Amino acid sequence: MAATSSSCDAAAELSVAAQVPFLHLCTTLEKIQKCKLRSEKSKFLRHFMESWRKFHDSLHKGLATTDSFHPAIIVPSFERERVAYGIKEDMLAELFIDVLGLPNNGPDANKLLDYRAPTSAHGEAGDFASMAYFILKKRCAGQHSLSIKGVNGFLDSVSEQKDRVRGSLRHLITQSSALEQKWLIRVISKDMKLGISEETALQAFHPDASELYNV
């Protein structure tokens, strides 16, 4: 009985999200954002979802499972369960300054705190995620083991336990690369800047997704 229970627990923990690095999603989102043509944006998103489905089929081998992709990580307006995260840019700026050990009145700390100021020659002004990436990429060059499941778990925890936001964020910052942090900021702020509509995203997930989602 104990062995059976253990097997069931292991099966329950098996998911595509636990196996796929968040970095893979981030590189796809980078491609989507940089594309100018809507058709190209859709192609990259469809390719990611097709790869996800193939991995899902290989992992579960046709067995019944509740394992699925959480579309709100790409299109925040799809979110129906998590409440607002309550994480603002000023909180993130303070955390980055602290974690990176930036001098409080140094140029990089000021860029994070005053990210709206039109002083950047790199086009990051007004976009906190891009400004943070510009500063982080010099200090967080490595790639880590953050999974999509880990990101979803973080989003669940901060939406349910507001008093643990800073601690959870601090842990995640130390476990992710600059590119991952850029897109994590976009997910948290619910402003992805991908240039695609909800309908386009839903079609990429599944041809019937729009009808099912709007029920």
Picking from 65-74, 113-122, 175-184, 188-197, which range would have the lowest pLDDT averaged per residue? 113-122
Residues 200 and 185 in one domain: no
Average pLDDT estimate for 130-156: 84
CA 36 to CA 193: how far, in whole Å? 12
Residues 55 and 125 in one domain: no
CA 196 to CA 85: how far, in whole Å? 23
Residues 104 and 170 in one domain: yes
Residues 65 and 122 in one domain: no
Partners of 147 in beta bridges: 21
Query: 181: domain range?
Result: 89-189
Domain assignment present for 175: yes
Mean pLDDT across the chain: 82
Residues 55 and 132 in one domain: no
At 147 the three-state DSSP class reads strand
Split at pLDDT 50, 70, 90, the class of 124 is low
Average pLDDT estimate for 199-215: 73
Residues 56 and 31 in one domain: yes
Most confident of 4-8, 75-79, 147-151, 158-162: 147-151
Residues 68 and 48 in one domain: yes
At 88 the three-state DSSP class reads coil
Residues 95 and 110 in one domain: yes
Residues 94 and 180 in one domain: yes
Residues 121 and 205 in one domain: no
Residue 113, domain CATH: 1.10.3260.10
Domain assignment present for 84: no
Residues 47 and 114 in one domain: no
Residues 204 and 185 in one domain: no
Split at pLDDT 50, 70, 90, the class of 52 is very high
